[in-house]
Amino acid sequence: MTGATIWLTGLPSAGKTTIAHEVAGRLRAGGRRTEVLDGDEIREFLSAGLGFSREDRHTNVQRIGFVAELLASHGVTVLVPVIAPYADSREAVRERHRAAGTAFAEVHVATPVEVCSERDVKGLYAKQAAGEISGLTGVDDPYEAPVTPDLRIESQGQTVAESADAVWGLLAERGLV
């Protein structure tokens, strides 16, 4: 089976993790070997010790990209719901896949910040507003939105199933399901 890395980039609470798990469930049901490399879990282990500076965010994304490519090169469909705020970091991951001949697609979960801060799944927007934290992506830390993603999802006003359908459509179009 052909593996692939599907990177879901977007702001906190945009819907990356939710969509990734919905798609992963469908892939598994179809008999595909699938992994979800989620930012929060990765930061506990693979990226333990890294913070949220530009440099550390870059390193975090490169490490995840490295593991994703390894898995994908062995036939796993890897979903990566990780913010990855910097365009050059994402480009380096794409280049690593291109050089290895491994399929890669970038999905921009482009939920507007107003909707994300309303959802505020982890309470980060509220904490930032209260001055308890700083450096929140899209609020007081940069988010460089992809200019030409392979797919853009406007999750606001869409069900999770509809957003997952869009990713599924991309996979189908590329012969990856």
Ligand X SMILES: Nc1ncnc2c1ncn2[C@@H]1O[C@H](COP(=O)(O)OP(=O)(O)OP(=O)(O)O)[C@@H](O)[C@H]1O
Radius of gyration of the chain measured on its C-alpha atoms: 15
Please name which of 43, 1, 5 lies closest in space to residue 24, comparing C-alpha atoms. 5
Annotated binding residue at 16? yes
Q: Closest separation between CB of residue 122 and Mg ion, Å? A: 8
81 close to 16: Cβ distance less than 8 angstroms: yes
Nearer residue to ligand X within complex by CB, 100 or 121 = 121
Within the chain, residue ranges assigned H as helices are 16-29, 39-44, 54-73, 87-100, 113-119, 124-129, 160-173
Q: Which is nearer to ligand X, 73 or 133 (CB)?
A: 133
10 labelled binding-site residue: yes
Q: If you write DSSP's letter for every residue of 142-154 in order, what string do you get?
A: -----SS-SEEE-
| Residue nearest to ligand X as judged by C-beta position | 15
Stretch that binds ligand X, among 8-16, 53-61, 85-93, 139-147 (CB under 6 A): 8-16
C-beta closer to ligand X: residue 145 or 160: 160
13 binds, among Mg ion, ligand X, none (CB under 5 to 8 A by kind): ligand X
Using the rule CB under 5 A, is 17 a contact of Mg ion? yes
Question: What is the rounded distance in angstroms from the CA atom of residue 61 to the CA atom of residue 40?
Answer: 12
> Which of the listed partners (ligand X, Mg ion, none) does 83 bind, with a CB threshold of 5 to 8 Å by partner kind?
ligand X
Q: State phi, psi for 70 to the nearest 5 degrees.
A: -60, -50
∠ CA 84-146-71, nearest 5°, is 50
Q: Decide: is 138 part of the binding site for ligand X (CB under 6 A).
A: no
> Binders of ligand X: how many residues, by CB under 6 A?
19
Annotated binding residue at 138?
no
- Options 160, 165, 166, 174; binder of ligand X; rule CB under 6 A: 160
Contacted entry of Mg ion, ligand X, none for residue 159, CB cut-off 5 to 8 Å set by kind? ligand X
CB 5 within 8 A of CB 176: no
Binding site for Mg ion (CB under 5 A): 17
